[in-house]
A and B are shown apart, each in its own frame.
Chain A
């Protein structure tokens, strides 16, 4: 087991790896290492969810894996195909709906949450998905994302975080690290980035998870969890933009460094990483990395994760591009809370129960009226 590479310090978001550390090109088009998926009892297959449109992402783009994973997963969900709707904003990632053979809307920059909310609120039986980017959801759509979270509309939101504006050809984004050199920041960006998980937790999200494009198996699990959560399922997906921000997440996604630099958080399980050599424990309100190999600490000392504990989620999500701590992936937080559309329709029902369903005659003739002969 390689110990945490001392020569390889944790890097701020988006910083390139030193030359030579990068893995082989993922290849053009769809990456190869997708898990074999049991299609389940449904007769539908991936093809039923694949539209006839040419996919126009750059070869090697991390978006392909997400698309393939979602297309493969769809037949497994117990949802009639015609009830599935994908809604996106603008960005490379937001082209997603065109490639799904379902209902879809490629809307305007940042506003997908608003459209999805209106759709789901008025048609609760639909299975609504939002696909968005870091710029789409956290810059121009920042206002909508937080309100979507607090309302807890029952839908899924896949946030493709590549720490860059892909479609506009490579400006820094609200998740880019300070000092990022891009076309619009030739001397380095100066604004501090968002921690997306902390942001949505602060916005009262009921389901918060993170995954990465280069671990389709984990991604698959996380998408299922997000989908099955009765409320807004927020999933941040670290996605490589191999054209404008290549390798932004390689430290977490590539074999050589992944084990030591990431930790998978799972409800009810101790936080252990680096192939069992290390763990995380709580020291007061602080997370601390412990060595499980020198006899001082054991797995029993590790923090057992509780995804229903908002405070814990708040602490663990703060481990963000830390030098000494592994980046967490998995379900940070899950809470059962009545959804927006349930409350909405319950309220309508209760009013109808109380005063009866309105008719057009009642509407017109209500209130104070008089006759002119």
Chain B
């Protein structure tokens, strides 16, 4: 039992920052897991450089993991940091501006030397030159304590130094009264086969934890009470894991096998990694020679009666364009997942952005609409992945699922759904038949379902349904190649109509805040948390604001017109230079205001708050 005073707080934001080789993502992830176990609500923001091991000590090599947790609703990873753990001067310099005035900065004093200052491009020691006067600074000899703790171990000096993140993690866990067991369990499994490393890490983790208890640098520690979460069984989930599970759940419910074709690209690669571990669910993953092959293989699998899925990030989506249109005109089910990163071109591979929306909507030759949906939280990645599969099959169309990079990497506590509660997912293949010689009752591959306008899914191996599909325009119903002007008009209209019919899948929009008033905020993707936090704050300040968040970007819901009509002004915040706002203005002919940010980082709630005040304050 702790003999130090405990102060209860309602929420806190912690940021672990260090070299990309310092294990900050691990420390952050484990702190998150412990926090989930402490039953707090939470939101995370991993932020790391594109280089695997950028030169040590440099500012551009700094890797960070931020999370906010609390006993109340936590919607964003936090605007201001309460505790910054800085493993070196560069990590301090890069992140200082995020720390709240009066906040705590825990530094590894052993790295605060001339070499470190030089690498961080600072002239003097910030611990001594007064630049940290407005903060509470805790200097810990992390390197020395780590080496001392492991003095008797057989590990190399390098291995020892690399383990100091566990000391830091242990200390941070103690500071916020988090359970240590989840991290212990994780280490035990992770290093199951490497006893010395496992023991060293466990020892350091515990040492760090006890250090807080014993050192006089800490007079008290914090405690954050459990949040008021709906009852049920929870697990911590990352967006990427949720996507993989959503796809596999769709496979299980539909009886279709998932075929996932992909070419590695940050940040989508993790989906390939995750799915490749689901072999015992009958998932086929294929790492292809490029993104075109990945979508091609998925189309081939879909033609064969499987659920073809391909995942990528921006530049890869560009490569898939032509093949996506093949699936579109061949009217085959296909799910294209685009984990968005900063563009254009290679852009900012590890940073988040929402700038592929117009590419997803319009980036194909010809009139080629397809359903586009977006995930809004890590947990929502599960639902949207499932939904994308269901729509692709029901309407025989490719579907693009857009996932902000920051959701894919981010984590949250997730109420595990009951398998029975997932939407029905029945698949109807065209049935075996005997073809007649005179062709009178020949199979008609483009005869459409009245309700959905989908054509039948006839898969090779079914006698009597032999037919040819392809990229040339087809005559409706018969599926024969046709260059007839009227038929092309008809087919173009039908393909558009089919996407319109997807409106049947819309569920009513939920309005967060006022359901009529001065300002409506319309968002999509990962900005949900920041928008809702800003709306909550504005309403506390007496402003009349509501917000809706769109899952369906195509087709847009007609309901939005009605809702928008109840407000005087409209704001569309996006992590791009104004994309959804263009689509909405075009569709609803309303003079909507855009709030845009393309800095590789999510919105701070305060940035949206400021805009709200500017518009109606």
Contact = CB atoms under 8 A, between A and B. Distances in A.
A106 B234 contact: no
Nearest to B228: A372
B462 interface: yes
Contacts of B252: 358-360, 363
B416 A368 contact: no
Interface in A259-300: none
Interface string B240-272: 000001001100110001010100000000000
B126 interface: no
Interface residues of A, number: 62
A258 interface: no
Contact of A358 (B248, B293, B464): B248
A261 B404 CA distance: 62
Contacts of B248: 358, 363
Q: Which of B257, B261, B293, B462 has the most CB of A within 10 A?
A: B293
A108 B326 contact: yes
A244 B539 CA distance: 74
B347 interface: no
B589 interface: no
Interface centre among A80, A82, A364 (most CB of B within 10 A): A364
Contacts of A116: 300
B185 interface: yes
A278 B521 CA distance: 85
A105 to B, nearest CB: 5
A78 interface: no
B468 A98 contact: yes
B232 interface: yes
B461 A114 contact: no
A347 B286 CA distance: 13
Contacts of B282: 348, 357-358
A147 interface: yes
A347 B279 contact: yes
Given A114-B300, A123-B304, A363-B245, A103 B292 contact: no
Given A87-B300, A106-B470, A372-B232, A352 B280 contact: yes
Given A119-B460, A126-B461, A102 B466 contact: yes
A82 B481 CA distance: 21
A118 B322 CA distance: 17
A163 B140 CA distance: 72
Contact of A106 (B36, B281, B292, B468): B468
Contacts of B330: 105
A363 B281 CA distance: 9
A81 B229 contact: no
Contacts of B261: 118
Contact of B297 (A100, A105, A114): A114
Given A108-B471, A121-B301, A82 B463 contact: yes
Contact of A372 (B230, B439, B464, B480): B230
Interface string A80-116: 1111110100100000011011111111100101111
Given A118-B299, A369-B234, A108 B481 contact: no
Contacts of A120: 300
Nearest to A353: B280
Contact of B233 (A51, A105, A351, A369): A369
B615 interface: no
Interface string A353-373: 011111111011101111111
A195 interface: no
Nearest to A117: B297
Nearest to B257: A122
Contact of A123 (B39, B460, B463): B460
30 contacts: A82-B460, A82-B464, A83-B460, A98-B481, A103-B466, A104-B468, A105-B470, A106-B468, A107-B470, A107-B471, A113-B296, A114-B296, A118-B296, A118-B299, A118-B301, A121-B300, A122-B306, A123-B304, A123-B305, A126-B304, A144-B292, A147-B288, A347-B279, A356-B280, A358-B278, A367-B235, A370-B36, A370-B39, A370-B235, A373-B231
Interface of B: 33, 36-37, 39, 182, 185, 226, 229-236, 245, 248-249, 252-253, 257, 259, 261, 278-282, 284, 286, 288-290, 292-306, 308, 322-323, 326, 330, 416-417, 419, 439, 459-472, 480-481
Q: Which 4 pairs between the two chains have the least Cβ-Cβ distance?
A: A114-B296, A118-B300, A106-B470, A118-B297
